[in-house]
Structure 1
Amino acid sequence: MSILEEEMLAVFDENHLKIGEQSRDIIHRQGLWHETFHCWIVHLEEGIPYLYFQQRSNVKKDFPNLFDITAAGHLLAHESVNDGIREVEEELGLTISMEELQPIGMIKDTILQGEFIDNEFAHTLLLIAEKFNIAFHLQKDEVSGIFTSPLSEVVRLYDKKVDRISLQCITSYNKEVSQIGVTLKDFVPHGIRYMKEVLNSIQEKGEEI
């Protein structure tokens, strides 16, 4: 997400009541609650849902090279959830509308790494894509590649029934990569509760289609 540290985000208490505004840098240092936009992309292939992950660029300040939500970013203090749709176009080069997204819900998500404390009210949405090989146009300083795996395999990984799964490369700046084995340490450490709620919701929506 191309947002400068000086730009202001709304600050909330744990009940999602707005209590002020602060810079993103201070929010992450103090662990203040704020809002984000998360868009997960899934494709159904012969009834099997495949989940797409972005690989964060190696120049990112936070979590370089790790696999993450297909597209996501912070909402600025003056923005609504609908404004978050820009993240999909900025990071992935996809032009879509909010009407194409299915809401999963607003989910609390906490990411901890040293002095970095990311407490998010994540407005989480799902895009069910018609094509497997989506025409992504990646923003190089944000995203280095897009990878996918059957949703069932991702669920098994987060349930710790397996230690490793394979991700298939859809597009990447590393032209030599076609498939890669990954463990949980290769993913941005979103809260397990957040991930399980997202994965369960995607499973349920996939079964409805």
Structure 2
Amino acid sequence: MEWLDIVDENGVPTGQVVSRQEAHRLGLRHRTSHVWIVRRREGNLQVLLQKRSEEKDSYPGCYDISSAGHIPAGADFVPSALRELKEELGVTARPEELLYCGQRRFRFQEVFHGSPFRDDQVSNIYVMWLDWDEDRFLPQKEEISEVRWFDFADCLRRVEEGSIPTCIFPEELRMVLRRVEEDNRE
């Protein structure tokens, strides 16, 4: 069973711990780390998306963040992000490769597989440069059905208009784009 810290609005643990299932059943605030992998090809910014397995408890079969995951009780944002990269994609990274884009707070409620799913997250958003071909990644089969590079501008447009099945928030993609543009000016 996966245990999560209940956190305040800034992502600081309150001292209470719940199971992941309980956090989503009751809509209790918890933390996640999101890592967006980007590269430049032929002058275009590209972003790697994972396609969630049909067995996932939320948004099965939808395109999602390159790598993301819940932060286990007692752990922190960056170590969890690095662990998820390794588990989900077979990517070994160092903390300094994760460029902080900001923090997001969001809540939503849906029904998946016939059961209510309530989410209340505080998420740290990171971007990481990695110029790998899709076949070099090692997607975790229980979690991910495929990984695919998208032209960043096309991805943002498609997410905004809902023309691909996705659970991506456009404002998060814009956070990543702002960070990439800041780095390019330096």
Q: What is the rounded CA distance, in whole Å, between the counterparts of 1:89 and 1:145 in structure 2?
A: 16
Residue of structure 2 equivalent to 1:101: 98
Given the alignment of the two structures, is residue 14 of structure 1 paired with residue 9 of structure 2, yes or no?
Answer: yes
Number of equivalenced pairs = 180
Deviations for 1:5-54, whole angstroms, at most 9, x for unmatched residues?
xx321112334443222111111122111110111101111321101100
1:156 Cα deviation from its structure 2 partner: 1.9
1:134-149 correspondence runs (5 A): 135-149=136-150
Q: Which moved more, 1:122-131 or 1:87-96?
A: 122-131
1:25-44 correspondence runs (5 A): 25-44=21-40
Amino acid at match of 1:148: W
Residue of structure 1 equivalent to 2:20: 24
Amino acid at match of 1:25: Q
Residue of structure 2 equivalent to 1:59: 55
Over 3 Å counting, the alpha-carbon distance change for 1:132 and 1:109 in structure 2 is farther
Q: Describe the SS at the equivalent of 1:14.
A: coil
Amino acid at match of 1:103: Y
Over 3 Å counting, the alpha-carbon distance change for 1:110 and 1:202 in structure 2 is farther
Residue of structure 2 equivalent to 1:180: none
1:206 Cα deviation from its structure 2 partner: 6.4
Q: How big is the alpha-carbon RMSD for the aligned residues of Structure 1 and Structure 2?
A: 2.2
Q: Please tell me whether the aligned partners of residues 43 and 130 of structure 1 are also in contact (alpha carbons under 8 angstroms).
A: yes
1:191 Cα deviation from its structure 2 partner: 4.3
Question: How does the TM-score come out when normalised to structure 1?
Answer: 0.76
Q: Please tell me whether the aligned partners of residues 43 and 132 of structure 1 are also in contact (alpha carbons under 8 angstroms).
A: no
Residue of structure 2 equivalent to 1:174: none
Residue of structure 2 equivalent to 1:154: 155
Given the alignment of the two structures, is residue 201 of structure 1 paired with residue 178 of structure 2, yes or no?
Answer: yes
Question: How does the TM-score come out when normalised to structure 2?
Answer: 0.85
Given the alignment of the two structures, is residue 112 of structure 1 paired with residue 90 of structure 2, yes or no?
Answer: no
Structure 2 unaligned regions, length at least 5: none
Q: Which has the higher helix share?
A: 2
Q: Which moved more, 1:99-108 or 1:11-20?
A: 11-20
1:139 Cα deviation from its structure 2 partner: 1.4
Identify the structure with bigger relative contact order (alpha carbons < 8 Å, sequence gap 6+): 2
Q: Percent identity?
A: 28
Runs of 4+ in 1 over 6 A off after TM superposition: none
